Structure 1
């Protein structure tokens, strides 16, 4: 699951600092994880990874062209008060990730 998130962050073209914020971990820890030294993933980390991969899945369902979905993450969005989904998620709370995922699930008609 973590390796998929690292690939996802590369597609989203985000910095290690941003990735660490999304995962709620120090940048150095993210660097070790990125290099393959995963260590243990706690409950919050698993929830964050699950939401991030759910966001990716929803974008792949909504957009036939994957690149459009990757660009959507950084585009201003009226649903988020003109902020991008990335800006919302970089609030750093698990609920910020959940907010974006719920929005996308509703857009794609999930659940």
Structure 2
């Protein structure tokens, strides 16, 4: 069962939301973009899935966090902070990491 399809109690939902908020802060996402990334069903779990995939690829957590910026520039010509559709970015990145 994937993390996105699991059933969570209120405490688990709050923990997932806190973890995802801390993650986008670590990635340096500004408030407005972070709000768009975090609001919506399944988005927090998608972000945690991206984090998990990156940590599987990179043992160093700083390198995993920096990779987000490299991917963003390579795929979209700009930094994640300035990318106009962060929800699409997460979707594209998830698809890329699943390949």
Scaled to the shorter chain, the TM-score interval is 0.5 to 0.7
Deviating beyond 3 angstroms after TM superposition, the runs of 4 or more aligned structure 1 residues are: 81-84, 87-90
In 1, Cα distance between equivalents of 2:47 and 2:65: 13
**2:36 matched to 1:2?**
no
Cα deviation, residue 2, structure 1: 0.2
Q: Quick check: 2:21–2:38 contact (8 Å CA) kept in 1?
A: no
Quick check: 2:20–2:44 contact (8 Å CA) kept in 1?
A: yes
Q: Which runs of 5+ in 1 are unaligned?
A: 25-44, 107-111
The normalised TM-score by structure 1 is 0.61
Which is helix-richer, 1 or 2? 2
2:93 maps to 1:100 = yes
For structure 2, the residue ranges without an aligned partner over 5 or more in a row are 1-15
- Number of residues paired by the alignment? 82
Q: For the aligned residues, what is the CA RMSD?
A: 2.3
